[in-house]
Amino acid sequence: MQPKNTHFKHCSSIEALRHEVCDAIVKSANEAIAQRGQFSIVLAGGNTPRAIYRLLRDLPMDWTNWHIYHGDERCLPREHEDRNSLMVEQVWLHYVGIPANQIHDIPAELGPIAGAKAYAETLAGVPTFDMVLLGLGEDGHTASLFPNHTVDNSADAVPVFNSPKPPPERISISQNRLNDTREVIFLVTGVGKQQAVDQWRSGVAIPATLILPKNGVDVYCYEVVLD
Ligand code: 6PG
């Protein structure tokens, strides 16, 4: 049976998905800033969100109250082409006026243990996130929470070793800390994600099912059959 409070949304095209997610981010940001004076968003890594970040670049937005976090990061040098933080900088953050001290990259260049410790200290003073964006791997992983990989969920950020998705060493925000958010949006595109989505919808425990904050999650899907 489909997990409760998990809303799978079929998007008619990849452009529709990108614009619907971009609109949802803007709506959440405007509400958060109006109600609390700031908007904190945790960004997804990987390829799917790139075009959404590119859409955000052109918005007529007052960026000064945005706070940026990352759901996970690969343990690579900061300028390595596979860094999630570099991707986000190149397609979006370089072009908008979010204050540098409000962009919180994961210091994954320090390595998994030192980097996770440092990021946990960064997150320690951060209240409930307003929004968390997440991708989904073909094996059901999300952020860098992988099947058959146990992490210390009492920590806000955790080291990951032997990741099945290269590189092997990563840092992830933990399941518990990712769940401390007002909204979660998953971005799921490509036929390769079908099995993971089928498992998810039939109640099979994959890492993505660990992410279930009190307000539930929205899963935007394209090229994935939901009938
Ligand atoms: C990463 C991501 C990872 C990603 C999924 C989906 O650092 O690799 O955080 O969790 O979101 O693997 O990746 P795609 O969007 O490229 O399919």
- Omega into 167 within 30° of 0, i.e. cis? yes
* pLDDT, tens digit, 9 for 90 and up, residues 189-203: 999 999 999 999 999
Which of 81, 25, 88, 77 lies closest to 54 in space, CA to CA?
88
163 lines ligand 1 (CB under 6 A): no
Q: Separation of 126 CA from ligand 1 center, angstroms?
A: 24
Measured at the alpha carbon of residue 156, what is the angle toward residues 20 and 112, in degrees to the nearest 5? 100
Supply the residue whose CA is at minimum distance from atom 13 of ligand 1: 46
Q: How far apart are CA 219 and CA 111, in angstroms?
A: 31
For the entire predicted model, the pTM comes to 0.98
Spell out where the chain has E strands: 6-10, 39-43, 66-70, 72-74, 103-104, 129-135, 157-160, 170-173, 181-189, 217-222
Question: Could you give the domains of the chain?
Answer: 6-222 (3.40.50.1360)
Q: Separation of 227 CA from ligand 1 center, angstroms?
A: 24
* pLDDT, tens digit, 9 for 90 and up, residues 141-189: 999 999 999 999 999 999 999 999 999 999 999 999 999 999 999 999 9
